[in-house]
Structure 1
Amino acid sequence: MRALLPRLHPLRPRRGPAQGRGHAGDGGVPALRTRPGRPCRRTSAADGPGTDLRPASGRRLEYGKAIATGTFDAHCLLADAAHQGKAELMAERLFRAHFTDGLHVGDPATLARLAAEIGIGAGQVPAAELRARLDRVRRLGITGVPVFLVENLPPLTGSASETTLLAALRQAAAMKGELRDH
């Protein structure tokens, strides 16, 4: 499975703090409100009242610090990390940099520093290869995560039940003539 940073914009031009910071409603991010000493909460009725957005680690998500930027270079760095077996570490560090630390994840110097922290070498996955992957994601109509791609079936986006996933796997196996009843 290939990792792509959700709700960030790989093709948006790089911008720094002087040009603007992320804000509620930017790029499809739901409106958020914060109260001193409290976690960020969604204000969208679709997500239910007061949905806590803190990760299980207890780390605070500081959306007010997030810098709106293009993330193509961050996606390239993540692809390089995956190539070196460190995708999970790099993704966690990129998310923490963006959503907690307020670092500019579109800035090449910041990305170089983050790569050094994780111990990865950049430039191993060609940018053209990543652009081709992102183009495929767009063609498939994928707009969220997680996404499950099962042979020749439409993408399953969002949280899917075990029943849905098993049905998709069985359908793909049946199409290939490999379905066995166990």
Structure 2
Amino acid sequence: MRVEIWSDVVCPWCYIGKRRFEKAVVALREKGVTEPVEIVYRAYQLDPTAPAGASTPVVDAYAKKFGGRERAEQILAHVTKVAAADGIEFRMDIALRANTVLAHRALHFALETGGPSLQEALKERLLRAYFTEGLDVGDAATIGRCAADAGMDAATLLEWLDGDGGKAEVVADLRGAMEREISAVPTFVIDDMFMVPGAQDVDVFVNVIERVLARRG
């Protein structure tokens, strides 16, 4: 089974959805399902207008987007509470708005050089950097450090990012989202046939995968 997940590294529901889907896979294993599940992350920009090379506090960006600081803090407090219930620490008070094109290109490099497992490791590290550590995930040096933590050769990655590596792949992912009419993330596409939008509960993911497997016979 191949699962393509359109998501962004600055999307709170993408981090929550990632964790819930991982728990669903574990739950399926515990139920005796042995079908291999290959997960590939596809690029989506939640905030494409974020300036490259500059970062501002997320709370300020949310205040501008949602009509004031009070409303922004309510939204951020809500996702922080939901994340905590899924075992994820959000520090939205220190999170920095970032353009994520470089991060998505790096994720493609990880996929090309180390397969889905390395891509997942980098994805997890970038999410933690953004949501928990308050790091600028639009910064090449930060991405390089995250890559090293994920077991990658940071110098090789940064040299690759200095060129055009991954640009076409990111554009293709964004086009793929448009073709599938994906307008919000996370969106999970199973075997290029079944689409599951949003950070669903673990049981929902389990049920969907079981139905997909049952239809295969």
Gaps of 5+ in 2: 12-44
Q: State the shift of 1:106 in Å.
A: 0.5
- The one-letter amino acid of 1:21's match is P
Which amino acid is the alignment partner of residue 122 of structure 2?
M
1:104 and 2:136 are equivalent in the alignment: yes
Per the normalisation by structure 1, the TM-score is 0.66
The corresponding residue for 2:168 is 128
Q: Provide the residue aligned with 1:54 in structure 2.
A: 84
**2:124 maps to what in 1?**
92
User: Do the aligned residues in 1 keep the contact of 2:8 with 2:185 (CA within 8 Å)?
Assistant: no
Q: SS in structure 1 opposite 2:93? A: helix
Q: Does residue 138 in structure 1 map to residue 181 in structure 2?
A: no
Alignment of 1:1-182 (within 5 A): 1-3=3-5, 4-5=7-8, 7=11, 9=46, 11-12=48-49, 13-17=51-55, 20-23=56-59, 24=62, 31-33=72-74, 41-42=77-78, 51-54=81-84, 56-57=86-87, 59-83=88-112, 84=114, 85-121=117-153, 122=157, 123=160, 126-142=166-182, 143-152=184-193, 155-158=195-198, 159=200, 160-168=204-212, 173=216, 180=217
Change in CA separation of 1:119 and 1:164 when aligned onto 2, cut-off 3 Å: closer
Instruction: String of CA shifts for 1:126-170, please: whole Å, max 9, x gaps.
Output: 3202210122013212212251234445x2213245444444555
Instruction: Quote the sequence identity (%).
Output: 22
Query: Judging changes above 3 Å, is the alpha-carbon distance between structure 1 residues 55 and 106 closer, same or farther for their aligned structure 2 residues?
Result: farther
Q: Give the letter for the 2:99 counterpart.
A: G
In structure 1, distance between residues paired with 2:147 and 2:205? 35
- Asked whether the equivalents of residues 108 and 166 of structure 2 are also in contact (C-alpha less than 8 Å), the reply is no
**Which structure's residues are more often helix, by fraction?**
2
Distance change >3 Å, CA 163–CA 114, structure 1 → 2: closer
**Unaligned regions of 5+ residues in structure 1, if any?**
35-39, 44-49, 174-179
Deviates more, 1:88-97 or 1:124-133: 124-133
Structure number with greater CO (CA < 8 Å, separation at least 6) is 2
In the alignment, is the contact (CA less than 8 A) between 2:4 and 2:190 conserved in 1?
no
Aligned pairs, how many? Answer: 157
C-alpha spacing 1:33/1:151, structure 2 compared with 1 (3 Å): closer
Cα distance, 1:98–1:170 mapped onto 2, change above 3 Å? same
| TM-score between both structures, scaled by the size of structure 2 | 0.57
The question of whether the paired residues in 2 share the 8 Å contact of 1:62 and 1:99 is answered with yes
Question: CA separation of 1:55/1:87 partners in 2, compared to 1, >3 Å: closer, same or farther?
Answer: farther
Whichever structure has more strand as a proportion of its residues is 2
